[in-house]
A and B are shown apart, each in its own frame.
Chain A
């Protein structure tokens, strides 16, 4: 099973700041990584697929990068609604797996 390790576990920032979230894979997964945002009481929402492609309707302040084993989600300037939990997920090999999540909280 491919293990995804997200860091940091918690990130405390202020609105307007830049957020950088990391996801590392235990094996090579090419570009096959997605990012999701989850708010309390809601299902996760797709942000980025195949490492760098924004999903439909996702603001341009969200961007993804990386390939192989190291990936990054960047939020260029945080809006109040961006404070949530973020998960990465790989589709390179079954079973598909998720990272443990990064909690982005207001400082």
Chain B
């Protein structure tokens, strides 16, 4: 059964870098059959795509994040990571790692990251 599990600090200081990892079990991120990516949701608000990659292909980032985001891949661990730099309180959200093609399925359980000093 495919599972995605996010991990990383729950608290990040303003202006620093938010770093999260997603460990994938039950599928290979190198299979080339799907996109893998990140979506976030500020508490009580809607959903926003951050970015995604297709192994062996392109990586796309949401222009709204203005070059602050990087997604990297560790094939030896079958995991991928998110780095978001120069964070502000507006980056406080639940961060989900996901797999998608025709739709987003499945989702990780999500991890809450709060940006605060």
**A and B interact physically:** yes
- The yes or no answer to B27 lying at the interface (CB within 8 A) is no
Q: Given A43-B110, A95-B63, do A55 and B105 touch, yes or no (CB 8 Å)? A: yes
Question: Which of B48, B100, B106, B107 is the one whose CB lies under 8 Å from A98?
Answer: B48
**A83 to B49 CA separation, bound complex (whole angstroms):** 25
List chain A residues, Cβ under 8 A from B108. Answer: 43
Q: Given A49-B103, A55-B105, do A100 and B63 touch, yes or no (CB 8 Å)? A: no
Quick one: which of A1-46 are within 8 Å of B by CB? Answer: 1, 34, 36, 43-46
**A56 to B96 CA separation, bound complex (whole angstroms):** 21
**A99 to B105 CA separation, bound complex (whole angstroms):** 17
Cβ proximity bits B31-59 to A, threshold 8 Å, 1 near / 0 not: 00000000000000011110000000000
* A binding-site residues for B, Cβ under 8 Å: 1, 34, 36, 43-46, 49-50, 55, 87, 89, 91, 94-101
Question: Which of A87, A94, A98, A100 is the one whose CB lies under 8 Å from B60?
Answer: A94
- Give the secondary structure class of A's interface: loop
> Do B60 and A95 touch across chains, with their CB atoms under 8 A apart?
yes
- The yes or no answer to B1 lying at the interface (CB within 8 A) is no
- The yes or no answer to B76 lying at the interface (CB within 8 A) is no
List chain B residues, Cβ under 8 A from A50. Answer: 102-103
- The yes or no answer to B104 lying at the interface (CB within 8 A) is yes
